[in-house]
Amino acid sequence: MLTIAVSKGRIYEEALPFLEEAGITPTDDPEKSRKLILSTTRDDVQLVIIRATDVPTFVEYGAADMGIAGKDILLEHGAESLYEPLDLGIAKCRLMTAAHKDAPLPKGRIRVATKYVKIAQRYFANLGIQAEIIKLYGSMELAPLVGLADCIVDLVDTGNTLRANNLEPRELIMNISSRLVVNKAAMKMKNQAIAALLEQFELTLAKR
């Protein structure tokens, strides 16, 4: 049995064509079912539906053999212990800084609100900027509006939420897409099954 970890929402929806090409279709709709482990149309594959930030943890510790997660999540988690054989090129967005429109950042030490603490620390350190990182779990756009932070580091897709709150994207930190990750032990123990699935995913990618 192969177990694949994936999160609900955009990543799942955009990963579905890859799964279906490999004959993997869940027997229940994860958006409607309360089940966290979903059987599929393949007897040898099941899906576990978890929070996006938990995908690399489940794969690292062998609770799932494979997983699909955004590059932002992998970098923040620290995914050196995982194989990352494929960039699926789905759920694309940008990780950026954002701040009040037309307002320059203060000189010297700045305050940055983000859920990407490690990424933000590395980014500002590489620029030689002293940054106090404030960890938030949501509503990042609120932080500059109430004076909690000078800027934020967050994912940007359309930028509509930023504009609605009189903020603007500033510096691009990196382009983000979702990657397939594999547990290292599973790669050895279940090599044939995983290799066949990787080949099928690669064929699906080649058609795009």
Both tokens of 43, joined, read 């007897």
> Which of the following CATH numbers is that of domain 94-174: 3.30.70.2190, 3.40.190.10, 3.20.20.70, 3.40.50.150?
3.40.190.10
Which amino acid is residue 33, in one-letter code?
Answer: S
The pLDDT tens digits of the residues spanning 86-100 come to 999 999 999 999 999
| pLDDT score for 80 | 83
Query: Does the pLDDT of residue 182 top 90, yes or no?
Result: yes
CA–CA separation, 100 vs 55, rounded Å?
A: 33
Contact (Cβ atoms closer than 8 angstroms) between residue 5 and residue 66: yes
Average pLDDT over residues 142-151: 95
CA–CA separation, 55 vs 12, rounded Å?
A: 12
Where along the chain do its domains lie?
2-92+176-206, 94-174
Regarding pTM above 0.85, the answer is yes
* Equal fold, 2-92+176-206 vs 94-174: yes
The pLDDT tens digits of the residues spanning 114-128 come to 999 999 999 999 999
The CATH homologous superfamily of the domain defined by 2-92+176-206: Periplasmic binding protein-like II (3.40.190.10)
Percent of the chain with pLDDT over 70: 100
The pLDDT tens digits of the residues spanning 27-62 come to 988 888 888 999 999 999 999 999 999 999 999 999
Question: Angle formed by the axes of helices 191-206 and 10-21, to 10°?
Answer: 100
Neighbours of 154 (CB within 10 A): 27
